[in-house]
A and B are shown apart, each in its own frame.
Chain A
Amino acid sequence: MKPSSVDAVIRGLKKAGVSTVCYLPDSLFKELYPALDADPDIRTIRVTNEGEGAAICGGIFLSGKRAALIMENSGLRASVEPLARMGLGAGIPVIMLMSYRGELGENNWWAIPHGITMEPVLNALRIPYRVVREEDEIEQSIVDAYNWSYNAYYHSAIALGGSIVR
């Protein structure tokens, strides 16, 4: 990611009122994670799998603070069980920012499943999402996701793809 894209993500998170980020690092966002760690206004929590991160974000919602789950889109698959339980069972929302691995242009065989499954999994869970490929749309898209989730009390997702992460 370019420094300007990293800045746009962090601006969006702050504008949305996010004070805690749970993440499991990946390669496409590799410049983002140390920038989040270094930001004095954001607490980062490293998790062992994305489902655990989703549940921690759910707990942070219950505290009145705002959290984000940041990950590769493969982490969506690891999060399906807690997302379904919290979102559909209790109305506890998790807002996700994920890198779009496996879209057209992907040059790793192991990432192909991530691209094939991401949108169908989001649709299966009825999670609204936006795929963002232009840097100038990052900030507002993150704000839009929070606005929606804090009215729906349901999950939403932003996937960053294209030249933002390549």
Chain B
Amino acid sequence: MKRYDCMKLLAERLKDELVILSLGASVDEWYNAAPHMRAASLFQQQLGCVTPQAFGLATGLPHRRIISLDTDGGMMFNLGILATLGNEQPKNLFIVVWDNECYQSIGGPPTHTAFGRVDIAAIARGAGVEHAYTVRTLEEFETHCAAGLVADVPYVVVAKVAGTVQPDIKRKHSDGREDKYIFVRHVEATEGIVIMGPSEHN
């Protein structure tokens, strides 16, 4: 199963949602797979921060569906967030963990999931996130996207994907700061709120 194919299927289902994602090549893949979600996606380069940030966003916007596109390396960097989600039970947070069993962006050395023992979905269930599943086919992935996008409990899908990157995709040229402004202005426009307002005259 290829991550890019999963992304295309997920992207077709998204319209008003907000997405926080990481890391490495998955950033460029999402940029290409979901062009209509460009402003609604915050592209990060942070191991361990993606799902916590998505949870924070879900806390602040409880009426809005938030999607975390995390990775095996990223989730294992901070497994504690699963226990926090188990206790907090956000009603609007859907988490996909792209589990390619390697640190792809630095050339592919294995992560802990590569050896057949470590099971992120089982860890999530043990942390109190009852709906946590591992999927290996596009059909399974799509089924769980459909369920996870309307669930009123935290929902985790660990997608076992190949360690390859979609060839011939456009690179995203913006940095973290520009991406933040794009994302914040999108949230402001769609929520009718001010997050980064004008300075005072004094």
Chain A residues proximal to chain B, CB less than 8 Å: 20, 43, 45-49, 51-53, 55-65, 67, 81-82, 85-86, 89-92, 151, 153
A49 touches B80 (CB 8 A): yes
Q: Which of B29-37, B137-145, B154-162, B182-190 contacts A (4 or more CB under 8 A)?
A: B182-190
- CB proximity of A19 to chain B, nearest CB, Å: 8
A52 touches B59 (CB 8 A): no
Chain B contact patch, size range: 35 or more
B residues in contact with A86, CB < 8 Å: 46, 49, 53
A45 touches B59 (CB 8 A): yes
B49 touches A45 (CB 8 A): no
B194 at the interface (CB under 8 A from A): yes
What are 14 A-B pairs with beta-carbon distances under 8 A? A43-B59, A45-B59, A46-B87, A51-B78, A56-B59, A58-B49, A58-B56, A59-B20, A59-B54, A62-B184, A63-B195, A64-B60, A65-B60, A151-B199
A-B pairs with beta carbons under 8 A, tally: 117
B52 at the interface (CB under 8 A from A): yes
Checking B177, B187, B199 against A62 with a beta-carbon cut-off of 8 angstroms, the contacting residue is: B187
- CA A153 to CA B187, docked complex, whole Å: 17
A46 with B84, Cβ < 8 A, contacts A52-B78, A85-B45 known: yes
- CA A43 to CA B55, docked complex, whole Å: 14
- CA A20 to CA B187, docked complex, whole Å: 19
Closest residue on chain A to residue B176 by CB atoms: A90
A56 touches B194 (CB 8 A): no
B residues in contact with A46, CB < 8 Å: 84, 87
A59 touches B55 (CB 8 A): yes
A63 touches B48 (CB 8 A): no
Closest residue on chain A to residue B47 by CB atoms: A81
A60 with B56, Cβ < 8 A, contacts A49-B80, A52-B84, A90-B179 known: yes
B residues in contact with A53, CB < 8 Å: 52
B196 at the interface (CB under 8 A from A): yes
Which chain B residues numbered 170 to 202 have a C-beta less than 8 Å away from chain A? Answer: 175-177, 179-180, 183-184, 187-188, 191, 193-196, 199
B residues in contact with A61, CB < 8 Å: 56, 195
- CA A103 to CA B58, docked complex, whole Å: 38
Closest residue on chain B to residue A56 by CB atoms: B56
B7 at the interface (CB under 8 A from A): no
A60 touches B57 (CB 8 A): yes
- CB proximity of A83 to chain B, nearest CB, Å: 10
A62 touches B53 (CB 8 A): yes
- CB proximity of A8 to chain B, nearest CB, Å: 25
